[in-house]
Amino acid sequence: MSQTWSVLAALLFLIFSLVEGSAYNIVNVEAGDEAVLTCASTSKMYLVMVTWEIKSNTSCSLAYRNDRNETKLNCSERMMWKYSPDRDPALRIYPVNLSDEGNYTCEIATDMGNFHFSSSLSVIVPPTVTLTSDKSRVAVCQAAAGKPAAKISWIPASNNSSEEEFKHGNGTVTRVSYIGWVNSMNTTVTCLVTHPAMNQNLSLDLSGKKHHSVIACHHSLMILCVFL
Ligand SMILES: *[C@@H]1O[C@H](CO)[C@@H](O)[C@H](O)[C@H]1NC(C)=O
Ligand SMILES: *[C@@H]1O[C@H](CO)[C@@H](O)[C@H](O)[C@H]1NC(C)=O
Ligand SMILES: *[C@@H]1O[C@H](CO)[C@@H](O)[C@H](O)[C@H]1NC(C)=O
Ligand SMILES: *[C@@H]1O[C@H](CO)[C@@H](O)[C@H](O)[C@H]1NC(C)=O
Ligand SMILES: *[C@@H]1O[C@H](CO)[C@@H](O)[C@H](O)[C@H]1NC(C)=O
Ligand SMILES: *[C@@H]1O[C@H](CO)[C@@H](O)[C@H](O)[C@H]1NC(C)=O
Ligand SMILES: *[C@@H]1O[C@H](CO)[C@@H](O)[C@H](O)[C@H]1NC(C)=O
Ligand SMILES: *[C@@H]1O[C@H](CO)[C@@H](O)[C@H](O)[C@H]1NC(C)=O
Ligand SMILES: *[C@@H]1O[C@H](CO)[C@@H](O)[C@H](O)[C@H]1NC(C)=O
Ligand SMILES: *[C@@H]1O[C@H](CO)[C@@H](O)[C@H](O)[C@H]1NC(C)=O
């Protein structure tokens, strides 16, 4: 008898861990957009109460009692029910900002039992991309304040490039890539920036700089001629 109980307990544990696993959502949203975190469909049951527990940079909660048709909350005004909570207790955040990143747990009490669902919200921020040239290092490509950090590469590919990274307090990263040597046959360099929120290619014609060096060269030749 005790054996069947332990088998049953193990089975129940397995079922619960499967449910837990499948109920864990990972949600990626761009800063400024709308995030909708789903809980469970309550259309086939009677909802007694629902509570969202939020653990981000700050902790707060949002709760609804069906018998009183009443919501209590101490979260940001950017967080509210997406629909009528007795129908679908999904949480809406708009506009999303970096401080909303964290863990969101929804607990519902219904006539068919209690359930809870967890989501992890990640906020992504597209970087600001610029391509400039500077005297010493020819071309500088910058992807500023992106989250996660952007990847920078060059066309034509160069073995003479270097990269710097700056981490900001709000979780964003600025990356700067310098290219020191370009094929003299091709005066156009292209910087390729890849990021989950955007891909961008910027091109820069360095022939203006090359002209200067050509003129300087002519100058020195003339001076050389004069001296000869
Ligand atoms: C909301 O209330 C909970 C407990 O009542 C508290 O721990 C939390 O700090 C509060 N959050 C805010 C943002 O006031
Ligand atoms: C519950 O309250 C909301 C506003 O707070 C109202 O729009 C809605 O009609 C109410 N629902 C019921 C069933 O009373
Ligand atoms: C996020 O929004 C809150 C208001 O809900 C504001 O106080 C905070 O400064 C914002 N954070 C960022 C990183 O924009
Ligand atoms: C988290 O909160 C602290 C202080 O409340 C603030 O200095 C920091 O910028 C916040 N971080 C984010 C990512 O919003
Ligand atoms: C969210 O949960 C994960 C894993 O359970 C944990 O590592 C992380 O620190 C939590 N984040 C916050 C903001 O509580
Ligand atoms: C780059 O590669 C070229 C030939 O492919 C080589 O001559 C040059 O020394 C390399 N430069 C560096 C900085 O590795
Ligand atoms: C994050 O911090 C950097 C540096 O202070 C700032 O330039 C950027 O605008 C911030 N990003 C967001 C989304 O708040
Ligand atoms: C390119 O190579 C030159 C000489 O090999 C070196 O002085 C320079 O720092 C390199 N530039 C970059 C961006 O790596
Ligand atoms: C020069 O490089 C650009 C990329 O920066 C490429 O699109 C173009 O085809 C190249 N031109 C030649 C003549 O190799
Ligand atoms: C950037 O250039 C690469 C290589 O030429 C190409 O595969 C990619 O589609 C381009 N991306 C954009 C956004 O133009």
- Cβ of residue 110 lying under 6 Å from some atom of ligand 3: no
Q: Per the structure, how many domains does the chain have?
A: 2
Which of ligand 10's atoms lies nearest the C-alpha of 201?
1
109 and 11 co-located in one domain: yes
89 and 148 co-located in one domain: no
Ligand 7 centre to CA of 147 (Å) is: 10
> Along the 228 residues of the chain, how does pLDDT read in single tens digits?
445 545 444 444 444 444 444 457 899 999 999 999 999 877 788 999 999 999 999 999 999 999 999 999 999 999 999 999 988 999 999 999 999 999 999 999 999 899 999 999 999 999 999 999 877 668 999 999 999 999 999 998 888 889 999 999 999 999 999 998 666 677 788 999 999 999 999 999 887 654 333 333 334 443 333 322
Which one of 124, 155, 175 terminates a domain? 124
Ligand that comes closest to the CA of residue 200: 10
| CATH number for the domain harbouring residue 141 | 2.60.40.10
Which of ligand 7's atoms lies nearest the C-alpha of 31?
13
96 and 157 co-located in one domain: no
95 and 203 co-located in one domain: no
- The residue nearest atom 1 of ligand 5, judged by CA position, is 103
11 and 120 co-located in one domain: yes
Ligand that comes closest to the CA of residue 183: 9
Name the residue of 154, 158, 160 whose CB sits within 8 Å of the most ligand 6 atoms, as the mutation to test its pocket. 160
Ligand 8 centre to CA of 140 (Å) is: 13
- Cβ of residue 190 lying under 6 Å from some atom of ligand 9: yes
- Cβ of residue 170 lying under 6 Å from some atom of ligand 3: yes
* DSSP sequence for the chain: -HHHHHHHHHHHHHHHHHHHHHTEEEEEEETTS-EEE-----TTS-EEEEEEEEESSSEEEEEEETTTTEEEE-S-TTEEESS-TTT---EEESS--GGG-EEEEEEEEETTEEEEEEEEEEEEBPPEEEEE--TTTSEEEEEEEEBSPPEEEEES--SSEEEEEEE-TTS-EEEEEEE----TT--EEEEEEEETTEEEEEEEE-HHHHHHHHHHHHHHHHHHHHH-
For 167, the domain range is: 128-227
What's this model's pTM, rounded to 2 decimal places? 0.77
